[in-house]
C-alpha cells in the first residue's frame, strides 16, 4: 500500500472537482459519466504519477472525455454535487494508495454502491472508508498481489511457449 502524500491529495481533489462539475457540464447521467471516466484515457493517465505535470484545466479534461466518448444524453439520474465529489475523491484515493487502475477498481466497486455509502461514510477518513468498503465486499490486499503474480506467470508461460 502506498502512502497518501501531497500528490495523492492533489489528484483526489482534481478528480473530485471534475466529478462535481460533470453534474452541470455533461448531459448524460452521473452513472454513465462515471463509467466513461473510469474507462477513459484521462483516468488511465491519472493512474500514473506524470498526470500532475500536465497543464490541463477541468474544462480541458471534460472536453477530452467528450472527444473520446462523444456527447450523450443517455440516462437521467444525476447525483448531487457532494456525492459526486466524494465518489471521485474515494475512487482516486483507492487507486492511488492501492496501485490499482481506475478501470479495475470500477469493475469491483460500482458508483451506485458508493452513492449508497456517501451518508454513512463521507465524514470518515478516506482510508477508513476504503477499508470498510473492502471488508464489506470481501476484497483483501493480497487479492491484488495474487492476481498480479498469476498474470505474470501466464505471461511467462506464453513467452516460453513462443520461444520453444
Q: Which of 105, 5, 127, 111 is nearest to 47 (CA)?
A: 105
**Predicted local distance difference test score (pLDDT) of residue 72:** 78
Chain centroid to Cα 80, Å, comes to: 18
**Predicted local distance difference test score (pLDDT) of residue 30:** 95
Position 101 in a domain: yes
Per-residue pLDDT of the chain (164 residues; tens, 9 = 90+): 788 989 999 999 999 999 999 999 988 899 999 999 999 999 999 998 788 888 778 888 888 888 888 887 888 899 999 999 999 999 999 999 999 999 999 999 999 999 999 999 999 999 999 999 999 988 876 555 566 667 778 888 888 877 76
pTM value?
A: 0.83
Contact (Cβ atoms closer than 8 angstroms) between residue 79 and residue 110: no
Position 52 in a domain: yes
Position 96 in a domain: yes
Q: How many domains does the chain have?
A: 1
Burial environment of residue 98 by CB neighbours within 10 A (0 to 12, 13 to 18, 19 or more): middle
Position 19 in a domain: yes
Containing structural domain, residue 89: 6-163
Using the Cα atoms of residue 101, residue 121, residue 4 and residue 21 in order, give the sign of their dihedral: positive
Position 50 in a domain: yes
Position 51 in a domain: yes
Position 1 in a domain: no
Position 15 in a domain: yes
Amino acid at each position: 500500500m502506498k502512502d497518501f502524500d501531497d500528490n495523492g491529495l492533489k489528484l483526489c481533489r482534481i478528480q473530485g472537482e471534475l466529478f462535481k462539475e460533470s453534474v452541470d457540464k455533461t448531459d448524460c447521467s452521473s452513472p454513465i459519466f462515471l463509467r466513461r471516466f473510469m474507462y477513459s484515457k484521462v483516468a488511465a493517465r491519472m493512474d500514473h504519477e506524470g498526470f500532475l505535470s500536465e497543464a490541463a484545466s477541468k474544462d480541458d479534461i471534460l472536453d477530452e472525455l467528450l472527444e473520446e466518448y462523444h456527447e450523450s444524453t443517455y440516462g437521467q439520474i444525476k447525483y448531487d454535487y457532494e456525492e459526486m465529489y466524494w465518489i471521485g475523491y474515494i475512487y482516486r484515493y483507492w487507486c492511488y494508495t492501492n496501485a490499482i487502475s481506475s478501470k479495475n477498481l470500477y469493475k469491483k466497486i460500482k458508483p451506485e454502491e458508493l452513492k449508497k455509502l456517501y451518508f454513512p461514510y463521507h465524514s470518515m477518513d478516506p482510508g477508513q472508508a476504503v477499508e470498510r468498503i473492502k471488508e464489506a465486499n470481501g476484497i483483501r490486499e493480497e487479492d491484488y498481489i495474487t492476481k498480479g503474480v498469476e498474470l505474470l506467470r501466464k505471461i511467462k508461460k506464453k513467452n516460453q511457449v513462443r520461444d520453444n
